[in-house]
């Protein structure tokens, strides 16, 4: 069991170590204009990496919000195990490091004239544009679910007020009243995220509202780390969590905020709290830039992260089509570094080389126990591919000490990734 964790750690380190091989040398004289839209895990990391590689370049990060609120670890906030203030990160360090950070919403991209227009009407010209805008929710894709109903049936799939709202609704729940969570079909941000959330809500109910129960209605039959989650749920929450698969009438076709009800093919079910995780797509600015395809996501070259639809625009993070790499902060952070290096190399007249990428997703199953999945990927064949025999899952039937050690690793990862992105 320990061997399995060691193997994953080694492979993660190898993938990050490979980055150094591709760092461009002596490119600090390049004077290009680079604009990055989206200051989350992908964009903030890309901006900081570019600043360290191309000190003379004109690099601007365009981010709508003055404070970033992290989705990773927000499920602990919902489960009343962490405060929302611990999720907040400012852009102060980026500004102190000399990066130009513009707090505006980008509202248009002209891929021919190579400009980005801000909400206040100002424009920025670019030689290379990096988009890391994350996801938007597909309002209306699930009947009855709109921006207005999300105030009653929170998604909490973008962290911030929605996270707090869901937590407050759980706090206000009477013991004995029930909770529903709906999970959309893939792809969506953070494949294991719904099941980590289910675990932490079930933990909250078990410890604070023991007569209440969570019903998870899923549009899928299988999910990330499924055997590990099912094992944890059987051990910790047999009375407090029921997961219903698509094959077992789990797909929700309609929600009704007035009646506090969700409908499947065969049943209408009421609950006092309903957490709707709706279908998603690349955030709107990607669509406006012309880098989304019919799926609503962004096809890219897996080595340079350049859009296959628009030249000189790179896309990273959740907005991309990068499967089997998941839409995770870990992936976005690594893609931010690799994309920054690719942009620096392209501006210096060199072609970026294929490399090895890794992702680790930790999930809490209780407030102090976690499980993880590691993937290792190649990008040299024109697409991302899982490296056979690499990566892995936490072991099944592991003693509590192993789960607790993984929870500490998760916490260390969060500290490291937020430090890399926000300083
Ligand atoms: P984001 O981090 O969402 O950043 C996008 C940024 O772009 C935002 O700051 C937004 O304001 C800005 N933006 C968008 N449009 C514009 C515009 N037009 N103009 C200006 N700014 C704009 N991942 C993990 O690796 N580990 C975890 O444990 C984990 N847990 C999660 C738990 C939950 C509940 C959820 C929902 C997600 C979790 N994730 C986790 C996934 C992680 O949050 C995302 O994969 C990650 O945030 C993606 O980074 P990104 O840079 O693509 O997008």
- Beta-carbon contacts of residue 169 (< 8 Å; ≥ 6 apart): 154, 272, 273
- Which of 284, 328, 337, 411 best tests ligand 1's pocket when mutated (most atoms within 8 Å of CB)? 328
Atom of ligand 1 nearest to the CA of 65: 11
Instruction: Report whether 217 contacts 382 (CB < 8 A).
Output: no
Query: Residue 29: pLDDT band by 50, 70, 90 thresholds?
Result: confident
Q: Is the pLDDT of residue 18 over 80?
A: no
Query: SS3 for 375?
Result: strand
Q: Is the pLDDT of residue 270 over 80?
A: yes
Taken in order 311, 315, 320, 323, is the CA torsion positive or negative? Answer: positive
- Pairing of β 214-218 and β 241-244: parallel
Query: SS3 for 247?
Result: helix
Query: SS3 for 154?
Result: coil
Summarize pLDDT for 207-244 with one digit per residue, the tens. 999 999 999 999 999 999 999 999 999 999 999 999 99
DSSP E strands, 103-172 = 106-110, 115-118, 123-125, 128-131, 135-137
Nearest to 384 by CA among 356, 364, 414, 420: 356
Q: Measured between alpha carbons, how far is 341 from 318 in angstroms, rounded to an integer?
A: 19
Q: Measured between alpha carbons, how far is 238 from 221 in angstroms, rounded to an integer?
A: 19
Determine the pLDDT at residue 26. Answer: 46
Q: Is the pLDDT of residue 19 over 60?
A: no
- Which of 131, 190, 281, 362 best tests ligand 1's pocket when mutated (most atoms within 8 Å of CB)? 190
Token representation of residue 77: 């906030």
Compute the mean pLDDT over every residue in the chain, rounded to the nearest whole number.
94
The kind and range of the H/E element at 82 are none
Determine the pLDDT at residue 237. Answer: 98
User: What backbone phi and psi angles, to 5 degrees, belong to 109?
Assistant: -130, 130
Residue 364 CA: distances (Å) to CA of 180, 225, 226, 230, 410: 19, 12, 13, 13, 8
- Of 123 and 9, the structure prediction assigns the larger pLDDT to 123
pLDDT (average), residues 261-278: 98
**Cβ < 6 A, ligand 1 pocket:** 37-43, 62-65, 68, 71-72, 74-75, 105-106, 132-134, 157, 189-190, 193, 197, 283, 285, 317-318, 327-330, 332, 361-362
Token representation of residue 277: 């995780």
**Which residue's alpha carbon is nearest to atom 49 within ligand 1?**
41
Q: Is the pLDDT of residue 12 over 80?
A: no
Determine the pLDDT at residue 27. Answer: 61
Q: Is the pLDDT of residue 339 over 80?
A: yes
pLDDT (average), residues 134-142: 97
pLDDT (average), residues 86-95: 98
38 CA → ligand 1 middle, Å = 9
pLDDT (average), residues 280-306: 98
- Beta-carbon contacts of residue 96 (< 8 Å; ≥ 6 apart): 423
Nearest to 136 by CA among 75, 188, 62: 188
The β-bridge partners of 129 are 35, 313
Q: Is the pLDDT of residue 413 over 50?
A: yes
Residue 277 CA: distances (Å) to CA of 68, 138, 145, 240: 21, 10, 10, 20
Q: Is the pLDDT of residue 382 over 90?
A: yes
Determine the pLDDT at residue 284. Answer: 98
- Pairing of β 385-386 and β 392-393: unpaired
- pTM reported for the whole predicted model: 0.95
Q: Measured between alpha carbons, how far is 356 from 19 in angstroms, rounded to an integer?
A: 9
Summarize pLDDT for 383-405 with one digit per residue, the tens. 999 999 999 999 999 999 999 99
396 CA → ligand 1 middle, Å = 30
- Which of 12, 36, 38 best tests ligand 1's pocket when mutated (most atoms within 8 Å of CB)? 38
């Amino acid at each position: 069991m320990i061997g399995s964790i060691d193997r994953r750690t080694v492979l993660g380190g190898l993938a990050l170590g490979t980055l150094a091989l591709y760092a461009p040398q002596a490119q600090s004289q390049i004077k290009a204009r680079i604009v990055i839209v989206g200051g989350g895990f992908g964009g903030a990391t890309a901006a900081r990496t570019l600043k360290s590689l191309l000190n003379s370049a004109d690099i601007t990060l365009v981010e709508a919000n003055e404070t970033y609120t992290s989705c990773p670890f927000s499920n602990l906030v919902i489960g009343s195990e962490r405060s929302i203030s611990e999720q907040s990160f400012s852009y102060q360090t980026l500004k102190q490091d000399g990066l130009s950070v513009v707090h505006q919403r980008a509202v248009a991209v002209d891929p021919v004239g190579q400009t980005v227009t801000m909400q206040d009407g100002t424009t920025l010209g670019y030689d290379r544009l990096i988009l890391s805008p994350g996801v938007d929710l597909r309002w209306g894709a699930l009947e009855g679910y709109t921006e207005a109903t999300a105030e009653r049936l929170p998604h909490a799939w973008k962290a911030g007020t929605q996270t707090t709202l869901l937590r407050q609704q759980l706090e206000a729940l009477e013991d004995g009243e029930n909770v529903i969570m709906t999970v959309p079909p893939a792809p969506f941000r953070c494949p294991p995220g719904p099941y980590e959330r289910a675990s932490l809500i079930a933990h909250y109910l078990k410890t604070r509202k023991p007569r209440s129960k969570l019903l998870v209605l899923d549009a899928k039959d299988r999910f990330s780390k499924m055997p590990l989650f099912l094992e944890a749920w059987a051990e910790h929450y047999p009375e407090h969590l029921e997961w219903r698969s698509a094959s077992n009438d789990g797909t929700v076709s309609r929600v009704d905020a007035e009646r506090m009800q969700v409908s499947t093919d065969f049943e209408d079910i009421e609950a006092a709290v309903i957490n709707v995780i709706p279908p998603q797509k690349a955030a709107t600015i990607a669509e406006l830039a012309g880098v989304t395809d019919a799926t609503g996501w962004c096809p890219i070259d897996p080595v340079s992260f350049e859009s296959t639809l628009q030249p000189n625009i790179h896309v990273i993070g959740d907005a991309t089509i990068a499967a089997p790499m998941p839409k995770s902060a870990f992936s976005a952070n690594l893609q931010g570094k690799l994309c920054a290096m690719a942009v620096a190399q392209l501006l210096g007249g060199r072609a970026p080389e294929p490399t090895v990428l890794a992702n680790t997703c930790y999930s809490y199953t209780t407030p102090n126990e976690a499980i993880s999945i590691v993937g290792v990927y190649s990008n040299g064949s024109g697409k991302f591919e899982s490296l056979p025999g690499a990566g892995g899952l936490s072991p099944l039937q592991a003693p509590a000490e192993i789960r607790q050690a993984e929870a500490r690793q998760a916490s260390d990862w969060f500290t490291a990734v937020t430090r890399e992105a926000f300083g």
